[in-house]
Structure 1
Amino acid sequence: MITASTSSISVPFQWIPCPSTLLPTPSHCTPYKPSHPFLAHATQHTEPKLSVTTTNPSDEDCNDDKALLTLLRQRKTEDAWLRYAQSTNLPSPTCLSRLVCQLSYQNTKQGLTRAQSIIQRLRDEQQLHRLDSNSLGLLAVAAAKTGHTLYATSIIKSMLRSGYLPHVKAWSAVVSRLAASGDDGPFEALQLFNSVTRRVRRLADPSMAADAKPDTAAFNAVLNACANLGDTARYLQIFNEMPEFSVKPDVLTYNVMIKLCARAGRKDLLVFVLERILDEGIQPCITTLHSLVAAYVGFNDLDTAEKIVQAMREGRRDLCKILRSSYEDYSIRTNAEEVFVKLLPKSVTWVTTHEPPELPKTNAPDSRMYTILMKGYMKDGRVSDVVRMLDAMRRQSDSASHPDHVTYTTVVSSLVKVGSMDRARQVLAEMARIGVSANRITYNILLKGYCQQLQIEKAKELLREMADDTGIEPDVVSYNTLIDGCILVDDSAGALAYFNEMRAHGIAPSKISYTTLMKAFALSGQPKLANKVFDEMLKDPRVKVDLIAWNMLVEGYCRLGLVEEAKKIVQSMRENGFYPDVATYGSLANGIALARKPGEALLLWNEIKERISSPSLPLKPDEGVLDTLADICVRAAFFRKALEIVACMEENGISPNKTKYTKIYVEMHSRMFTSKHASQARQDRRRERKRAAEAFKFWLGLPNSYYGSEWRLEPVDGNDTNVDST
């Protein structure tokens, strides 16, 4: 047991183990051909041999299998699971596959955990070939739906490596989850989509891939990944691949295109996406209009967003005309990117003589539409407009426009943003009074508000209320918020306690959980405990260690001036494929300043200079790291390097703090080079430093040899004496 201490507080550092949830490598599993396959097996792969020796089953095993199969056919999944769990022998492949299917189909946490335990057992016994592809596919879908995206991805990848093509409904569900997740999710979605489509294209007999071919939903999922990345070129490439698989874009495809234009900063193209939908004979849905309003809100163009909502309220169908009139002159957009020229050719060929198309039918604004507009007001700091719209929604005759839990949560968020916690709690009370149930997101927003205002006790009270009074269990976001709140009040022990409580309740820590706890220990001067958290993060297969985690580890050691330990961490970063960024260098510079090791500052500055000019790993330094390095160099009388650094600051639009550097120079170096007795080599070195000092004084604006004859770099007689003492 490890103890984390802050002053006199001691809390046990308990690491609650979590079972491994990843599938094994394909070398441990042999594909099994079911009678009703969920996917097609690639013809170029021969049937692998079984990894274990099979024997004839005993009569007892046959009877057990028959009883288990009977329970499964009767849909008595709970009884079937208990019978399986009590048996010491593995059931037949048919029973195992059907049991995994039914457990997955339950779409519950317990069902998924049980199905995973079967996978784990078969992996340990090298018997994964007993499962058919249908069961694995359903398990991947169930895992994706319950948020276990990494596990679902591992299943699909294992199936692909084993030579199988998953059913499109299985692999597209995983792609959809990856596309919407953070971090590298969209990149993973693109890679998985490419892996499947490459396999489909390789098959000599296309009929074998009939169930695996991408459909419209699969394309929409991967196009959403492109939009989330803002990758316009990749979007166009995949969009153009749709006819190859006999897939036609639908309204959701173009809704994603609206998002793409928004991510690319092309507000001017939004109306042309709507017009292309209409030109293709596709009827826009309410989500299309939601996407348009959200895009204009994202551009902070609330006037146009309001025009759309008002036009819907008035039952107008000339929405395209309204959006076109929002701009004075579309001809200024002649610099359209080639990608958008191909996606939206009408944006280039459009002329004023053509009447824009009209909507086939009208749509009245619903509560979500108003809520999106409210979020725009909140983003713009217009809290009074948020409250005003809430009142207006209450008075609407159409019940679809009445405020729902999302609307109220938006109001709560806007009040929390301006620090009005009492009013936010009043809104929460009103929700309970009128029967609109607050959800976990509502409470998490309130928790964050209390933590930001350092009212940790109220946050703890709200957490208890959330669980006891409403029955809403805290999630990883709730605990992450509380852990971060403990950091704000310098309570690393409390942060650790919440981390352990979260794991004790079976809530898997996220990447943010680990890095936030590392931050707690780094800021409290406990880098070894931060390192312990980091090691545990490395072992957790559900999260990926990123540069933020590495930087937090470096920060922990640098805060104590332990530069050598920090440099070892940086070396490990490089060995693991991560390269220092500005935050890394900033921590190192602060650590060097604390440790008073100016020689290390020179090495660090040389590395930063190389990165600035590097075409493969470019770096744009910020004010913090450059100012710290310049400060170290001035104090150590490394004036030549100090001049290089301040020149770099000016080149990057950063104004150096001359007042601070002048004060340091006057206090520390005003009587430099006054010794008359030195060797010739030392005099030569001193002469170089004197030139650099004079140049630095010139840059500061102090009197020096560059201003006039009375301020000479060297005495008239050439002796190395009597340098000015200013």
Structure 2
Amino acid sequence: MLDVASYNIVIRGLCLAGRFSRAYELLKEMEALGIKKSQVTHGIILKALCERKEVDQALSYFHSVSPRSDLDVVSYTTLIMGLADSGRIDVACELFEEMSSSGSQCVVAYTAIINALFKAHRPDQAIACFERMVARKCDPDLRTFTVVITGLCKAGKLNRACEVFQEMNRKGWKPDIIVYTSLVDGLSKASMMDEARKLLQEIVSRGMKPTEVTYTSFISGLCKNGRVEEAGKLVREMGKMCAAEVLHCIFGGYVLEGKIEEALTLKDEMVKKGVTLDVRCYTNLIHGLFYVRRNDEAQEMFEAMVRQGCVPDTRTYGMIVSHFCKQGKMQAACKVVEIMDAAGLEANCHVYNSLMDGFLGVNRAREAINVYSTMLRKMVKPSIVTYNILMLGLCKLGQTADARLVLREMRERDGIVPTIVSYRTLIHGLGKAGRADEAIDVFTEMVDNGVVPDCPSCTSLIQALAMADRMDEATQLLRDMPRMGITPDALAYNALVKVLCGGAKVGPAWDVLVEMMDNSCVPDGSTFRAMKLGFKADTA
């Protein structure tokens, strides 16, 4: 007759072979024969269920075991890990506390809970669990330290991550490349580039090889902090081992600084060394060329990209559309969207926003509205930018009532909170349409909804009031701005001066000009042109 150890061997083999139903039959056979399951048996079944992602069944099996003393720390840990991996963190924590209260300690279980808490964006609970682990004399291992340091870096808690790193070294654990990379990435994102460089040097001094991710994090940090030349030097030192992931970061850095020639030179050098560029590298270079209006070279770069077998993605096409729209070349922009569609790529919200903004820029508001309709038909969700552009287009067409409806619907229907730009756009449009009372209503609504007025929004309302010949209210708002914590600029004063001069009210306009200079706001050419026209009208 087979004993429990023999059954365990067979059941484990069946579970490993994926024959779980047969393994379950043997469990029933054991019960029928009166053979008591051992702790090993329970561990085998729980592991098999968790590996099959059948966590509910594993939990049910766990609770069916009586007494609980038949379950060892391996069974507890196996289920805790399964629950944590499936996102059942609170249940895993309850089970973990039950295990701990019985006096059992397991570094694997602690690590699983800590890792799950970090993944669930609960870093404070994760570090509290780590500290409790240390206090209970359960020594962290390399995996624990790696999970804690990585989690703290991702959560932006760099000081605590560095403290754990030092503790790790004190306890004799040698950090691996994962730990170093997490710290380099965290420090780089926090603009602590000198500290990140020291760690990079420490990696090499310890005989380890920085990974592509390590270099990418560091070089990206250098570029974001304006140290592109330093990043370029490092890339050249890397030579052929430099991956496209690293290169696209530095190309982007050069483009941000307007150094497209340096980017092109580096590109040629790296290609000669055998480095293959990816779609992100080409996209950044094309963006840089368009940015300085070297359109022909940008198109040549795009064609070279395709010849190399590098397939343009949505970001590539979207960037090209954006540049054509900014240059007012709407026919070219629409053609790119057609090519994009033919390639099986769907235009996203950014592409549609670019088209709408581009059409408005060339005074084709109706076509901008049509793009919005196409966007809805294609089931692309609008963003706050979309709605702001849409309201501007409607205002340009004189459809201010529709623009007000958009402001309400974006909040009530789509849950998008209007920004200061949203309100400012509508206030300006209502003012130009001679709807001063409605402009005041929108301004009041803005304040009531907790959006703090800025100088441009106040200027738009001043202009609306002045155009409605409500000069006293316009002047009062101008003088109230400092009390609202807003310093009027030349545009605010000019809004009043222009309307006054246009109505041949040179005296009041002169008073505003004097007040403007008294408040240390320097008049510009627009101010003096308005005054000149006012004097001409006054003497005519």
Per the TM superposition, whether the score is higher than 0.5 is yes
TM-score category of the 2 structures, normalised to the smaller one: 0.5 to 0.7
Q: RCO higher in 1 or 2 (8 Å CA, sep ≥ 6)?
A: 1
Alignment partner, residue 660 of structure 1: 529
Q: Does 1:389 align with 2:255?
A: no
Q: Does 1:523 align with 2:396?
A: yes
When residues 641 and 415 of structure 1 are mapped into structure 2, their CA distance, relative to the original with a 3 A threshold, is closer
When residues 586 and 171 of structure 1 are mapped into structure 2, their CA distance, relative to the original with a 3 A threshold, is farther
1:294 to 183, 200, 220: 220
When residues 242 and 519 of structure 1 are mapped into structure 2, their CA distance, relative to the original with a 3 A threshold, is farther
How far does residue 171 in structure 1 lie from its aligned partner after superposition? 7.0
When residues 508 and 242 of structure 1 are mapped into structure 2, their CA distance, relative to the original with a 3 A threshold, is farther
Amino acid at match of 1:255: D
Number of aligned residues? 423
How far does residue 442 in structure 1 lie from its aligned partner after superposition? 0.6
Q: Secondary structure at the match of 1:637?
A: helix
Q: Secondary structure at the match of 2:519?
A: helix
Q: Does 1:311 align with 2:311?
A: no
CA distance in 2, matches of 1:198, 1:376: 35
Contact 1:483/1:496 (<8 A) preserved: yes
CA distance in 1, matches of 2:113, 2:406: 39
How far does residue 427 in structure 1 lie from its aligned partner after superposition? 2.7
Alignment partner, residue 184 of structure 2: 254
How far does residue 433 in structure 1 lie from its aligned partner after superposition? 2.4
Q: Please say which of residues 387-396 and 509-518 is displaced more in the overlay.
A: 387-396
Q: Secondary structure at the match of 2:516?
A: helix
Amino acid at match of 1:449: H
When residues 506 and 364 of structure 1 are mapped into structure 2, their CA distance, relative to the original with a 3 A threshold, is same
Alignment partner, residue 221 of structure 1: 154
2:198 to 271, 275, 280: 275
CA distance in 2, matches of 1:525, 1:582: 24
When residues 483 and 299 of structure 1 are mapped into structure 2, their CA distance, relative to the original with a 3 A threshold, is same
Q: Does 1:569 align with 2:442?
A: yes
CA distance in 1, matches of 2:444, 2:84: 43
CA distance in 2, matches of 1:246, 1:219: 14
Alignment partner, residue 548 of structure 1: 421
CA distance in 1, matches of 2:120, 2:367: 37
Q: Does 1:509 align with 2:509?
A: no
How far does residue 465 in structure 1 lie from its aligned partner after superposition? 1.6
Contact 2:115/2:126 (<8 A) preserved: no
Equivalent residues in 2 for 1:285-434, closer than 5 Å: 285-313=211-239, 364-397=241-274, 401-434=275-308
When residues 198 and 462 of structure 1 are mapped into structure 2, their CA distance, relative to the original with a 3 A threshold, is same
Alignment partner, residue 492 of structure 1: 365
1:579 to 452, 468, 471: 452
When residues 478 and 664 of structure 1 are mapped into structure 2, their CA distance, relative to the original with a 3 A threshold, is closer
Amino acid at match of 1:489: V
CA distance in 1, matches of 2:249, 2:477: 48
Q: Please say which of residues 417-426 and 444-453 is displaced more in the overlay.
A: 417-426
Contact 1:137/1:167 (<8 A) preserved: no
Equivalent residues in 2 for 1:33-432, closer than 5 Å: 215-223=148-156, 250-261=180-191, 270-276=193-199, 278=201, 284-313=210-239, 364-397=241-274, 401-432=275-306
Contact 2:365/2:397 (<8 A) preserved: yes
Report the structure, 1 or 2, having the larger helix content: 2
When residues 430 and 578 of structure 1 are mapped into structure 2, their CA distance, relative to the original with a 3 A threshold, is same
CA distance in 1, matches of 2:257, 2:364: 34
CA distance in 2, matches of 1:174, 1:520: 42
Contact 1:554/1:566 (<8 A) preserved: yes
RMSD after superposition:
4.4
Equivalent residues in 2 for 1:618-629, closer than 5 Å: 619-629=486-496
Equivalent residues in 2 for 1:577-656, closer than 5 Å: 577-612=450-485, 619-632=486-499, 635=505, 637-638=507-508, 640-650=511-521
Q: TM-score, normalised by structure 1?
A: 0.50
When residues 503 and 286 of structure 1 are mapped into structure 2, their CA distance, relative to the original with a 3 A threshold, is same
Amino acid at match of 2:252: K
Q: Secondary structure at the match of 1:645?
A: helix
How far does residue 629 in structure 1 lie from its aligned partner after superposition? 3.4
Amino acid at match of 1:646: M
Q: Secondary structure at the match of 1:578?
A: coil
CA distance in 2, matches of 1:563, 1:663: 27
User: Kindly, what percent of the aligned residue pairs are identical?
Assistant: 18
State the Cα deviation string for residues 655-713 of structure 1 (Å, max 9, x = none).
Answer: 68674365256346679xxxxxxxxxxxxxxxxxxxxxxxxxxxxxxxxxxxxxxxxxx
When residues 289 and 167 of structure 1 are mapped into structure 2, their CA distance, relative to the original with a 3 A threshold, is same
Alignment partner, residue 122 of structure 1: none
Alignment partner, residue 150 of structure 1: none
How far does residue 301 in structure 1 lie from its aligned partner after superposition? 4.2
How far does residue 94 in structure 1 lie from its aligned partner after superposition? 7.1
Amino acid at match of 1:504: R
Amino acid at match of 1:394: V
Contact 1:519/1:552 (<8 A) preserved: yes
Amino acid at match of 1:488: G
How far does residue 542 in structure 1 lie from its aligned partner after superposition? 5.7
Contact 2:152/2:158 (<8 A) preserved: no
Contact 1:592/1:598 (<8 A) preserved: yes
State the Cα deviation string for residues 10-54 of structure 1 (Å, max 9, x = none).
Answer: xxxxxxxxxxxxxxxxxxxxxxxxxxxxxxxxxxxxxxxxxxxxx
